[in-house]
Amino acid sequence: MTAGPGVVEVLRPGPFATIQDLGRTGYAAVGVPLSGAADLRSFALANALVGNPPAAATIEATFGGVELRAHTAVVMAVTGAPCLVTIDGAAASFGAALSVDAGAVVQVGSPRRGLRTYVAVHGGIDVPAVLGSRSTDVLAGIGPPALGRGSILPLGDMTDGAVDPPIVHPVPADLTLHVQPGPRLDWFADNAIDLLCAGPYTVLMESNRVALRLHGPALPRRRDDELAPEGLVRGAIQVPPDGSPLLFLADHPVTGGYPVLAVVDEEDQWLAAQARPGRPISFRVRA
């Protein structure tokens, strides 16, 4: 398949891949979530490595498996969940700027640990923006569709950009997330925060970009009546009546009707985005 200059073609999308940037700001009042990259640290690093501005759109690959063909010479970088990267079958560096010749095929393998990998291309992925963002929001159904075999991704301005010294944030073997008490402690038993931190919890297969569904100690509620819908933020730990917590990620709804026990610190939210099904997670109250 031929394509014009400044284009990357998706030969294989892997299990699930989307376009993501920093998301949609200013629309929560009309019910549109922020969305954007789930792991903002790895997203930022990928863009920095190729000299992109911080808001440039990238590919977010869940469980890797992406295969791309460059139709012009480009500079790419792969960050996030560590995996094997090859260019025309030859091993290439993970977490570094890569010069890719026109016609070359870049393969991103399945991660050894973690869940989400980011592929940035110099110039950014220049698909049409929706409400000011190129992010795919799986909950609201806004933005470009998930990538498929044969998807053609135009690139933005290919002028030279300055690369800031990157800071590498490897996905650790132990996932401990620091939390602050949430706004509805009065809805829970006195020991609910202690039980949350006693854990551990296991990430369930039903998890996605909206939320991590967790299995572990039930968090007892003091009140069983209905809570009026309240605003939600990324990192909120909401507890339905069954006591099994939900940890909200990038595509979380704007409001929710279950009480929020705790909120994951912003600096640890990238770790939650890298928690794959079956992975244990522990929580700790920030001292």
Q: 267: closest CA among 44, 48, 59?
A: 44
The percentage of residues in the chain with a pLDDT greater than 90, rounded to a whole number, is 82
Question: Are residues 28 and 78 located together in one domain of the fold?
Answer: yes
Note whether residue 36 is domain-resident. yes
Note whether residue 187 is domain-resident. yes
Choose between 157 and 243: higher pLDDT: 243
Question: Are residues 86 and 13 located together in one domain of the fold?
Answer: yes
Note whether residue 161 is domain-resident. no
Note whether residue 165 is domain-resident. no
Tell me how far the alpha carbon of residue 88 is from its chain's centroid: 27
Summarised one tens digit per residue, pLDDT across range 96-134 is 999 999 999 999 999 989 999 999 999 999 999 999 999
Helical spans, DSSP H, in the chain: 40-49, 192-198, 269-273
Note whether residue 162 is domain-resident. no
Q: Which domain holds residue 108?
A: 7-154
190's CB contacts (< 8 A; 6+ apart) are none
Nearest 5°: phi and psi at 90?
Answer: -95, 135
The model carries a pTM of: 0.93
- Mean pLDDT, the chain, integer: 92
The SS3 call for residue 43 is helix
Beta strands in the chain (DSSP E): 7-12, 16-20, 58-62, 67-70, 74-80, 85-87, 90-92, 98-100, 105-108, 116-121, 152-154, 176-181, 201-203, 211-215, 230-231, 236-238, 246-248, 255-256, 260-264, 280-285
Confidence of residue 1 (pLDDT cuts 50, 70, 90): very low
* ∠ Cα 183 187 193 (to 5°): 70
d(CA 1, CA 47): 28
Confidence of residue 30 (pLDDT cuts 50, 70, 90): confident
Question: Are residues 149 and 185 located together in one domain of the fold?
Answer: no
**Are 270 and 169 a contacting pair, CB within 8 Å?**
yes
Q: 236: closest CA among 212, 216, 219, 215?
A: 212
Q: What is the pLDDT of residue 4?
A: 44
Question: Are residues 136 and 184 located together in one domain of the fold?
Answer: no
**Tell me, what amino acid is at 6?**
G
Question: Are residues 141 and 203 located together in one domain of the fold?
Answer: no
Summarised one tens digit per residue, pLDDT across range 245-273 is 999 999 999 999 899 999 999 999 999 99
Which residue is listed with tokens 């929710």? 256
Number of structural domains, the chain? 2
| 56-65, 148-157, 217-226, range with the lowest pLDDT | 217-226
The percentage of residues in the chain with a pLDDT greater than 70, rounded to a whole number, is 94
The CATH code of the domain that includes 236 is 2.40.100.10
Note whether residue 43 is domain-resident. yes
Question: Are residues 188 and 271 located together in one domain of the fold?
Answer: yes
Note whether residue 169 is domain-resident. no
